[in-house]
Structure 1
Amino acid sequence: MKRRKVRSKVNPRGSKRKKQMGPAVIACHPEPVVSVIIPVMNEARTLANVIRESSRVHPRTEVIVVANGCRDGSAELARQLGAKVLEFEEPLGHDVPRAEGAKAAQGDVLLFVDGDMAVRTEELKPFVSEILAGGDLALNDYSGPVQAGSIHPVISSKFMLNSLLGRPDLKGASLTAVPHALSRRAVTLIGAASLSNPPVAYTAAVLDGLRVRAVHYVNVGSRNRRRKRPGQKDLLTPLVAGDHLEAACRVLELRGPRGGFPDLGRLRERAR
C-alpha cells in the first residue's frame, strides 16, 4: 500500500505556521452603557483588531465607526464585523469624525480610540472604569517624549495649556491623545460639536469644574502610524498647536490677560 504523504505543519524556516483567524463578529448592544467611537480613514489593515479589542470593554457596548473619505473598503469591513457605521464620502478633517461619532452615541460612557492603532482591552478598561466611578474626562497619562533636547511644539502646547488651566499635575495629557473617555454629562455640558477641537473642548470641561484625571498610560507615540511622507509638508503640527492657542485664548478671555495669575506687585507704571 502506498503511504499517504502527510504535510508538515512546520514551515521550511522551522517556525510553526500561524493559524489563519477570520475577523471576529461583534454585536452592538441595543441599550449600551459604553459607546466606542472609532474614526477611520483607510484603516482596513488594522480595523478588525481595533473593533475586536474595544468591543470587549463592557458587556453592554456599541461600536461606532466613523468612516470618512475611505477608499479601501474600511466602511464595508466595519459593517461585516457588526459595528455601526457613519459613512462620509469626503474626509471630514482631523477631529470632526470624533464629534460626529459623539452625536450618534447612546452610551453613558464615550470611549475614543483610533482606527489605525489596536489597544488591548485591558488597557482600555481603566478609562471606562474611571467614568463609571463618577469621572467626566479620563485621559491617557501620556505626555510625549519630554527628555529630548528640543521639545516638539505640540508637547509644549499641551504643557502650556494645562499650566494655564491650573492643572500642571496633568503635564502633557490632553484630549488630543487616545485612548480617552468622556461621561454623558460632560458631552452634554460642553456639546458634542466642541469635540471637533479637542483642546477647546478640554478647556471648557476644566473651566466648568468637571472631574478630569489622567488614569492610565498608553504609549501611543510608539504605536502611532506615520502618515507624513518624505518631503511632505507637516500640516498636523501647526493645526494642533493652533488649536491649543485657541483654547488658551478662551482662558484669557474669561480670566483676564494674565489668565488669572497674579502680577506679584509689579509697579508697571514705573517702566513707562
Structure 2
Amino acid sequence: MNRFKISGNRSRSGRVRRSSQSSDAGGARGRIVRRKGQSGRKLGRPASSGYRTRLTGDAERVDSIPLVSVIIPVMNERRTIRRVIREAFAVHPSTEVIVVANGTRDGSSVIAKRAGARVIEYAEPLGHDVGRAVGAEAARGDVLLFIDGDMVIPALRLRPFVNAVLREGVDVALNDYSGPTAKPVVHSVVLAKHTLNAILQRPDLNGTSMTAVPHALSRTALTMVGVESLAVPPLAHAKAIQLGLRVKAVQRVNVGKLNPPRTERERIRPLEQVIVGDHLEALDWVISRGDDRCGFVDRTRKRHYAR
C-alpha cells in the first residue's frame, strides 16, 4: 500500500504507513500478475485462471479480482466483528472484506483473520475515519462499501448500496438517514450535515452524509475525490457533489439506534467536535472554490442602495 499524507483536525498528521504487524502480505494471496483494466487502473490477476476462493491458514487467498470491497475500520469490536464480517461476505458473490484494525487491543484482528477478512493492523489508533482511507487504498473492487465493526447490519440491508452503484450508475450511494430534527434543540452534527448540503445546493439530500455508514462508492468516485479525502468524510462528500458525480440517498439504516454509546471515548474527546470540525473543513473547501455567495444568486437585494 502506498503511503499517503493525512492532515486535518484529528490524528492525521505525518504519513500513514503499513504496520509491520499487517497481515495483508502479498504472499498470503499467492503470486499476482498485474494488468490494466479498461479504466486504466491496475488490476490483480492470478497466475492460475480458475475462479475460486479458499482459506490458507487464517489468511484468505483470492484467485480473482473481487467486484465489491467491503471496508471495516475496527477498534476493540470482538463482540460484533465476526457477525459483521459474515454479513459483509454475503453482500455479493464476488466480495473481499478488508478490516483496518485501528489500534485494537482486544483480539478483534485475530477474530477478523479467522473469519476470512484481509486485516491491515496498526498498533496505535490512526484517528477517527482514517481507517476508511487506508482500507480504500488497499481495496481492489469496483464498488467500495463502508461499514463499521460495531454495528451488525444484515446483508439484505447492505445490498441496495452496492446495487445502486452496480446497476443504477450511482457514484455515491448514501444512507438515507438525516438524524432527528423534530425537536426544540437539534444536535450540532445534524445541523452541520443539513447546512453542508444546503451550501452545496443539494437540499434534497437533507442531512445525509458520507459521515454515516453504510455508504458505497464507485471506483470512479474514489479516483475523483481521492483516497485521502475519505479520512474527512464531509470533504469527500462535498468534492463528489462539486465534481458532478451522481450522489443519491438510496436506503435508510437508522444508525442512531444501532451505534452503541462510547462513554470513555466521549469523555476524552467528544466525537461531536470532530465531526462538526470536519464539516467546517468541507465548507472551507467549498467556499475557497467558488464566489462569495457559493453560487447562490442575490435575488431581490438591491445592494447599490447601500453604497
Structure 2 length-normalised TM: 0.77
Amino acid at match of 1:227: R
Q: Evaluate the alpha carbon distance shift between residue 95 and residue 214 of structure 1 in structure 2; reply closer, same or farther with a 3 A threshold.
A: same
The question of 1:179 aligning with 2:214 is answered yes
Q: Radius of gyration: which is bigger?
A: 1
Q: CA RMSD in A?
A: 1.8
How far apart are 1:228 and its partner, in Å? 2.4
Alignment of 1:104-183 (within 5 A): 104-133=138-167, 134-183=169-218
How far apart are 1:271 and its partner, in Å? 3.5
Alignment of 1:156-235 (within 5 A): 156-229=191-264, 232=267, 235=270
Most deviating of 113-122 and 143-152: 143-152
Q: Name the structure 1 match of 2:97.
A: 63
Pairing partner for 2:127 from 89, 93, 97: 93
Q: Name the structure 1 match of 2:284.
A: 249
- Helix, strand or coil: the match of 1:232? helix
Q: Are the aligned partners of 1:26 and 1:52 in contact in 2 as well (CA < 8 Å)? A: no
- Helix, strand or coil: the match of 2:96? strand
| Aligned residue pairs, count | 248
Q: Distance in 2 between the 1:70 and 1:246 partners? A: 28
Amino acid at match of 1:216: Q
Q: Evaluate the alpha carbon distance shift between residue 52 and residue 208 of structure 1 in structure 2; reply closer, same or farther with a 3 A threshold.
A: same
Identical aligned residues as a percent: 54
Q: Name the structure 2 match of 1:32.
A: 66
Structure 2 portions without partners, runs of 5+: 1-57
Q: Distance in 1 between the 2:254 and 2:67 partners? A: 26
- Helix, strand or coil: the match of 1:221? helix
Structure 1 length-normalised TM: 0.87
Q: Distance in 2 between the 1:128 and 1:136 partners? A: 10
Q: Evaluate the alpha carbon distance shift between residue 28 and residue 181 of structure 1 in structure 2; reply closer, same or farther with a 3 A threshold.
A: farther
Q: Are the aligned partners of 2:98 and 2:119 in contact in 1 as well (CA < 8 Å)? A: yes
- Helix, strand or coil: the match of 1:67? strand
- Helix, strand or coil: the match of 1:45? coil
Following TM superposition, the consecutive aligned residue runs of length 4 or more in structure 1 with deviations greater than 6 angstroms are none
Q: Are the aligned partners of 1:139 and 1:180 in contact in 2 as well (CA < 8 Å)? A: yes
Q: Distance in 1 between the 2:215 and 2:61 partners? A: 20
Q: Distance in 1 between the 2:59 and 2:150 partners? A: 19
Most deviating of 232-241 and 58-67: 232-241
Pairing partner for 2:84 from 42, 50, 55: 50
Q: Distance in 1 between the 2:91 and 2:61 partners? A: 12
How far apart are 1:234 and its partner, in Å? 5.1
Q: Evaluate the alpha carbon distance shift between residue 256 and residue 230 of structure 1 in structure 2; reply closer, same or farther with a 3 A threshold.
A: closer
Answer 1 or 2: which has greater strand percent: 2
